[in-house]
Amino acid sequence: MASEYFGKVERKTGETDIKTTVYLNGSGDFNGSSTNKVFDHFLSQLAKHGSFSIDLSTVGDTETGFHHTIEDIGIVLGQAFLAAFGDKKGIRRMGWASVPMDEALAEVSLDLSGRGSFTFVTDLSEDLIVDLPGDLIRHFLEVFAIEARISLHVELRRGTNPHHKAEAIFKALGRALSYAVEQDPRRSSTVPSTKGSL
Ligand SMILES: [Mn+2]
């Protein structure tokens, strides 16, 4: 994968001011802040297990809660990943991963289809991870999938501890995305679609 596979997006609204840079061929490091330490921890899992570099700077109206901020991070990161996917020539396109964290087991299947859709088979809605509502994680993933134009299926097979459940999901997302963006050596830079474009 060439080092030019990156995306840089800045977005400023009346509620948030967010800047991000994403490198697919990265160091595995997350640098910066989402304003929420728990969410930073989960974004670090995405970067580490995807071998991406994710830089993020966030100013948000967190006095109203984390909803606006994490929603907008989903938009900005989704757009940055889409830019980093480029023309998708030679990539595997689909990716999947089943990742445990202790008693929790998360399965992520995705297709860089060019059409954003989101299917979520689990319930984090009742969970609160320190100060991060579980339903915001679901909402982040939804917005990310739509903006990155990924067909994204997230299924939690089992799990009890909310932190384990969420962390397994972000690790699986990292692994599945990492596989999908890899070059398939047999594809010789063609677009992996019978349509000829994605
Ligand atoms: Mn953890």
Question: What's the CATH code of the domain at 47?
Answer: 3.30.230.40
Query: Kind of pairing, strands 94-101 and 104-111?
Result: antiparallel
Share above pLDDT 90 across residues of the chain, in percent, rounded to a whole number: 91
- Supply the pLDDT for residue 47: 98
- Supply the pLDDT for residue 187: 84
Residue numbers of the domain that contains 10: 6-181
Structural domain total, the chain = 1
- Residue list, CB under 5 A from ion ligand 1: 167
Q: Is residue 51 part of a domain?
A: yes
Q: Is residue 20 part of a domain?
A: yes
Instruction: Find the 148 Cα to ligand 1 centroid distance in Å.
Output: 25
Instruction: Find the 181 Cα to ligand 1 centroid distance in Å.
Output: 25
Instruction: Find the 166 Cα to ligand 1 centroid distance in Å.
Output: 9
Inform me whether the pLDDT recorded for 1 exceeds 70.
no
Q: Is residue 86 part of a domain?
A: yes
Mean pLDDT of 8-32: 97
Instruction: Find the 45 Cα to ligand 1 centroid distance in Å.
Output: 8
Query: pTM above the 0.85 mark?
Result: yes
- Supply the pLDDT for residue 2: 46
Question: Using one digit for the tens of pLDDT, what is the confidence trace for 21-79?
Answer: 999 999 999 999 999 999 999 999 999 999 999 999 999 999 999 999 999 999 999 99
Q: Is residue 191 part of a domain?
A: no
Instruction: Find the 81 Cα to ligand 1 centroid distance in Å.
Output: 23
Instruction: Find the 5 Cα to ligand 1 centroid distance in Å.
Output: 28
Instruction: Find the 163 Cα to ligand 1 centroid distance in Å.
Output: 6
Instruction: Find the 31 Cα to ligand 1 centroid distance in Å.
Output: 17
Q: Is residue 193 part of a domain?
A: no
In angstroms, the CA 40 to CA 16 distance is 17
Q: Is residue 198 part of a domain?
A: no
Instruction: Find the 168 Cα to ligand 1 centroid distance in Å.
Output: 9
Instruction: Find the 29 Cα to ligand 1 centroid distance in Å.
Output: 15
Inform me whether the pLDDT recorded for 8 exceeds 70.
yes
Burial class (CB in 10 A: 0-12, 13-18, 19+), 64: exposed
Inform me whether the pLDDT recorded for 103 exceeds 90.
yes
CA 116 to chain centre: 13
Instruction: Find the 26 Cα to ligand 1 centroid distance in Å.
Output: 21
Q: Is residue 62 part of a domain?
A: yes
More confident residue, 4 or 115: 115
Q: Is residue 176 part of a domain?
A: yes
Question: Using one digit for the tens of pLDDT, what is the confidence trace for 172-191?
Answer: 999 999 999 999 989 878 89
Instruction: Find the 94 Cα to ligand 1 centroid distance in Å.
Output: 27
